[in-house]
């Protein structure tokens, strides 16, 4: 194919520069225009393309250049495909490719949709910094019927490679928006409440109600608010919510990891027809 090129070192391609940039640097690479992000694994890349993200170039281990990946590259004849053996792919210090396929893709400007278009079940994330947790939360949100994810500025970027990979590409399937002015979730909560949403904070406060409380099934519009892995939700965020909710625990366990807790909460609070 005309868009394929075998390389013996990354310097023969743009990938040398891209992989030595931090993900934050890549995101700002073309300022004032949106920059790049790197997607890893065939499934993640496929979902990104289906969501309308534009590939810039592929970097592929020939051992992984199989039917699914070939089908994508055939449909994108103007996108260069760089083929390199595993030692070349992993030649950047701190870089280890486990899925055999990378794709550099252009970011898009993200706009907060009107509240009326967000759906009946929303997730608000306050300063979730671990990309594995963030990706797992997105995967649970998509699988268990949540309609959108709203993030404060302190959250890790859903398009970061590890977050997108752990999400299995669901960051490209469920609408999300990061409020770059929101230090806490309070302004997001206030905006949703003004549009008729009931907001519930997941927190271990003395006044928390159980996740099984029947009142939590009543709201037509509900937002689930989850906080930082170490410190949880800010006190002002909890105060701003309509309910404070806990997951009942056994055997003296006080709480679940935020990603595990999200799956339990989303399942219990999903919209039932």
- DSSP for 90-127? T-STT---SSSEEEEEE-----PPPGGGS-SEEEEE-S
Q: What's the helix, strand, coil split of the chain in %, to 5? A: 35, 20, 45
User: Which pLDDT belongs to residue 273?
Assistant: 45
Domain boundary, last residue among 106, 139, 161: 106
Q: Is the peptide bond before 29 cis (omega within 30 degrees of 0)?
A: no
User: Which pLDDT belongs to residue 196?
Assistant: 94
Q: What is the DSSP letter of 236?
A: H
Do 159 and 53 belong to one domain?
Answer: no
Counting every residue written for the chain, the total comes to 273
User: Which pLDDT belongs to residue 88?
Assistant: 85
Do 129 and 256 belong to one domain?
Answer: yes
Where in the sequence is the domain holding 47, given as residue range(s)?
Answer: 4-106
Distance CA 273, CA 259 (A): 25
Tens-level pLDDT at each residue, the chain (273 residues): 568 999 999 999 999 999 989 999 999 999 999 999 999 999 999 999 999 999 999 999 998 898 899 999 999 999 999 999 888 887 776 566 666 899 999 999 887 777 777 899 999 999 999 999 999 999 999 999 999 999 999 999 999 999 999 999 999 999 999 998 999 999 999 999 999 999 999 998 878 899 999 999 889 999 999 999 888 999 999 999 999 999 888 887 777 889 999 999 999 998 654
Do 193 and 265 belong to one domain?
Answer: yes
What's the number of domains the chain is made of? 2
Distance CA 225, CA 247 (A): 13
Do 64 and 123 belong to one domain?
Answer: no
Do 30 and 100 belong to one domain?
Answer: yes
Do 122 and 189 belong to one domain?
Answer: yes
Beta bridge partners of 103: 39, 58
**Residue where the block lists tokens 């299995």:** 168
Distance CA 242, CA 225 (A): 11
Do 209 and 248 belong to one domain?
Answer: yes
User: Which pLDDT belongs to residue 229?
Assistant: 85
**Do 258 and 227 meet the contact criterion of CB atoms below 8 Å apart?**
yes
The model's pLDDT over 37-77, given as tens digits with 9 standing for 90+, comes to 999 999 999 999 999 999 999 999 998 898 899 999 999 99
- Strand runs (DSSP E) across 164-211, as ranges? 176-179, 198-202, 209-210
Do 203 and 148 belong to one domain?
Answer: yes
Do 83 and 172 belong to one domain?
Answer: no
Do 101 and 33 belong to one domain?
Answer: yes
Domain boundary, last residue among 74, 106, 138: 106
User: Which pLDDT belongs to residue 194?
Assistant: 94
Nearest to 209 by CA among 183, 245, 155: 245
CATH code for the domain of 13: 3.30.1330.30
Do 171 and 148 belong to one domain?
Answer: yes
Domain boundary, last residue among 75, 106, 137: 106
CATH code for the domain of 199: 3.40.1280.10
Long-range CB pairs of 28-34 (<8 Å, 24+ gap) are: 34/106, 34/107, 34/108, 34/109
Do 84 and 125 belong to one domain?
Answer: no
């Amino acid at each position: 194919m005309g868009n394929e090129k075998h390389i013996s070192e990354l310097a023969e391609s743009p990938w040398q520069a891209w992989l030595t940039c931090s993900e934050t640097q890549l995101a700002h690479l073309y300022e004032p225009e949106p920059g790049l992000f790197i997607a890893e694994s065939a499934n993640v890349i496929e979902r990104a393309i289906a969501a309308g993200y534009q590939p810039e170039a592929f970097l592929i281990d020939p051992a992984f250049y199989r039917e699914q990946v070939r089908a994508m590259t055939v449909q994108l004849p103007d996108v260069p495909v760089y083929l390199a053996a595993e030692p070349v792919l992993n030649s950047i210090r701190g870089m280890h490719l486990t899925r055999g396929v990378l794709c550099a893709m252009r970011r898009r400007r993200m706009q907060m949709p009107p509240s009326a278009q967000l759906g009946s079940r929303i997730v608000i994330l306050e300063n979730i910094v671990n990309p594995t947790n963030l990706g797992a939360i997105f995967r649970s949100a998509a699988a268990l019927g949540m309609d959108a994810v709203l993030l404060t500025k302190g959250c890790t970027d859903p398009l970061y490679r590890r977050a997108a990979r752990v999400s299995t590409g669901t960051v490209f399937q469920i609408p999300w928006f990061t409020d770059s002015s929101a230090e806490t979730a309070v302004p997001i909560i206030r905006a949703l409440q003004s549009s008729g949403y009931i907001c519930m904070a997941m927190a271990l406060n003395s006044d928390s109600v159980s996740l099984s409380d029947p009142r939590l099934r009543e709201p037509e519009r509900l937002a689930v608010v989850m906080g930082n892995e170490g410190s949880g939700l800010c006190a002002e965020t909890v105060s701003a919510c309509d309910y404070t909710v806990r997951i009942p625990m056994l055997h003296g366990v006080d709480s679940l990891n935020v990603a595990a807790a999200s799956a339990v909460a989303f399942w219990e609070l999903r919209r039932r027809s």
